[in-house]
Amino acid sequence: MLKVNKIFMVLCVLMAFSTNTMMQCQSKEQAYFSPGKLWQDNTGTHINAHGGGTLYYNGRYYWFGEHKSDTTSSALVGVMCYSSSDLYNWKKEGVAFSVEENRNSDITKGCIMERPKVVYNKKTGKFVLWFHLELKGQGYVAARVGVAVSDQITGPYKFLRSYRPNPGIYPANMTDKQKKLTLNARDYDKWWTPKWYKAVSDGLFVKRDLNSGQMSRDMTIFVDDDGKAYHIYSSEENLTLQIAELTDDYLGHTGKYIRIFPGGHNEAPAVFKKDGVYWMITSGCTGWDPNEARMFSAPSIWGPWKQHPNPCVGNDAKLTFYSQSTFIQKVEGKKDAYIFMADIWRPEHPIDARYVWLPIQFGKDGIPVLQWMDSWNLDFFSLK
Ligand code: DGJ
């Protein structure tokens, strides 16, 4: 009798285990976006692709983002890749770009690898991954950009190098007068004063970093209709955005770059183009805490850029619905359909950070508007 009971118990445990495994392996097909909620991949696990971006290639969307752990935001794994045909249901493709065990590597395990973006180069047939890199153990001091390349969209991506862009080169929109000024960061240790603003505007930090290259933290890559690609990043101590042209193979910088909104303190740039106008949504700089989004537009990537009011409306608009921008994806096959993508950070449990994807609406004046929705789907774009 005792033996039968034991066998029964073992069977029960096995059944419970297999049911649990099935629950983890099966996720329900989704037909909606549910901003801020857990978002399961095809294995039933919350998608781990933070600060990311997407790329449409050969009929599928690919989502690349930071793999985050439960206790740290530092990179212990690398950049994850997921793929989808409908933008709701995502298949885990795995680690596209891995940190390295070698302690001397720039991308050694424990470094900070943020905001990865992948672009496809039609001329070379290669996929190029750009990311913000901070060297292990140095906080956010290194302020570098890193680049990696792969023949396959899902990777593995091969690390090429990390650096600060455009050493020894002045921005194209700095005047000769500004270039000739002698500005010394030591003379401006008190921040946010009118004197300091003027110095920042005149290129205080551009000059300080001229030889080493410009600081490069939060970033995105934008590929224009003509195939030219641009690296857009928070530079000069996160005070000023810079826009830099990439080489034709997308693997380096050409040396042509501009600075916009000096002293504006913008992070998290996300860019899209509609009817010939370039739009950029950014955040302010408050670490992992949410703040009010900013929006800018320009008739050319080189400007002039002008600022618009916060695109968010409704409850929590002043906190970007508790999120921070990361990317804007055009929906293929639909007119004027763009998805604003953002992260709700959870610094105490980075892996639990959430995603906010919202449709970009356009006001009568053609100005982008973001409105919170608990749930929505792509039909939204047809209903307009
Ligand atoms: C805000 C940035 O947008 C994030 O990518 C990250 O760098 C955090 N700051 C770190 O505090």
Ligand 1 within 6 A of CB of 268: yes
- Average pLDDT of the chain is 94
Residue 21 pLDDT level (bands cut at 50, 70, 90): very low
What sign does the dihedral 374-379-381-382 (CA atoms) show?
negative
In tens, the pLDDT along 113-150 reads 999 999 999 999 999 999 999 999 999 999 999 999 99
Rounded CA separation 314/369 (Å): 10
Task: Give yes or no for residue 15 having a pLDDT over 50.
Answer: no
Ligand 1 site-directed mutation target among 238, 345, 348, most atoms within 8 Å of CB: 345
How many CA atoms within 13 Å lie on the side-chain side of 359? 22
CATH architecture assigned to 45-163: 5 Propeller (2.115)
Cα 68–chain centre separation: 14
Q: What's the pTM value of the predicted model, to 2 decimals?
A: 0.92
Closest CA to 140 of 241, 52, 234, 205: 234
Q: How do the domains of the chain map onto residue ranges?
A: 45-163
Task: Give yes or no for residue 384 having a pLDDT over 70.
Answer: no
Sheet holding 324-330, edge to edge: 324-330, 338-344, 354-359
Ligand 1 within 6 A of CB of 66: no
Residue 350 DSSP code: G
Cα of 288 vs centre of ligand 1, distance in Å, is 6
Cα of 11 vs centre of ligand 1, distance in Å, is 49
Atom of ligand 1 nearest to the CA of 217: 7
Q: What's the confidence (pLDDT) of residue 162?
A: 98
Task: Give yes or no for residue 365 having a pLDDT over 50.
Answer: yes
Ligand 1 within 6 A of CB of 112: no
In tens, the pLDDT along 276-331 reads 999 999 999 999 999 999 999 999 999 999 999 999 999 999 999 999 999 999 99
Q: Whose CA is nearest to atom 10 of ligand 1?
A: 287
What sign does the dihedral 53-335-276-250 (CA atoms) show?
positive
Cα of 74 vs centre of ligand 1, distance in Å, is 11
Ligand 1 within 6 A of CB of 218: yes
Q: Whose CA is nearest to atom 3 of ligand 1?
A: 268
In tens, the pLDDT along 37-94 reads 999 999 999 999 999 999 999 999 999 999 999 999 999 999 999 999 999 999 999 9
If you average pLDDT over residues 338-346, what whole number do you get?
A: 98
Ligand 1 within 6 A of CB of 324: yes
Ligand 1 within 6 A of CB of 253: no
Cα of 167 vs centre of ligand 1, distance in Å, is 24
Rounded CA separation 370/46 (Å): 25
Residue 28 pLDDT level (bands cut at 50, 70, 90): confident
